[in-house]
Amino acid sequence: MRLLGLDPGLRVTGWGIVDADGNRLRHVADGIVRVPADGPLADRLAALYEALERVIGAHAPDEAAVEETFVNRNAAATLKLGQARGVVLLAPARRGLPVAEYAANVVKQSLVGVGHADKQQVMMMVRTLLPGCLAASPDAADALAVAICHAHHRTTRSLWAKAAAS
């Protein structure tokens, strides 16, 4: 199962691809989408969408997972981040991929064991769980962490769905 993890941002969006076979994880690729900080918001969002389309097309994931946005004190910045997150949710959904969402604390808890772990701890655990992975940036490492979190949680979700159906 090929999983795409996404860490949304309006200027920098991290992405990571992981192959999951049961409990075994393998790093496939990671990177960032950098969108110019200037220009109309609609153009920036379109550029983000197009870049994510290329990533999805190049790596053909089976499922995607996106980190939820946290609300900060700056309402305007939070609103813009929410719009970028909408694009990040839309790109895999338009390709017919199931998209899961995880709170940042859940992602960190799943990898590090602490919901308020810092970026260095997350990056260290990503590199530990995915030997040979160097992660292009902290944003890419966060995206890989989302993919790893999804790999861990998707099995449980599947079992719950089967139990509910019977």
> Which token pair is 25?
């994880």
Pairwise CA distance, residues 108 & 104, whole Å:
6
Strands (E), the chain: 2-7, 12-21, 24-34, 63-67, 99-102
Q: Is 67 a catalytic residue?
A: yes
Query: CA Rg, the chain, in Å?
Result: 15
Which pTM value belongs to this model? 0.91
Give 2-165's CATH code, choosing from 3.30.420.10, 3.40.50.300, 3.90.1210.10, 3.40.50.10800. 3.30.420.10
Tens-digit pLDDT profile for residues 30-57: 999 999 889 999 999 999 999 999 999 9
Q: Which of 30, 63, 139, 142 is catalytic?
A: 139
Q: Which of 7, 30, 63, 142 is catalytic?
A: 7
Q: Enumerate the β-bridge partners of residue 21.
A: 24
Q: Is 7 a catalytic residue?
A: yes
21/79: higher pLDDT: 21
Q: Is 68 a catalytic residue?
A: no
Domain ranges in the chain are 2-165
Residues contacting 69, CB < 8 A, separation 6+: 8, 78, 81, 82, 85
Tens-digit pLDDT profile for residues 52-110: 999 999 999 999 999 997 767 788 878 888 899 999 999 999 999 999 999 999 999 99
- Given a cut of 80, is residue 157 above it in pLDDT? no
What pLDDT sits at residue 53?
98
Q: Which of 38, 67, 68, 142 is catalytic?
A: 67
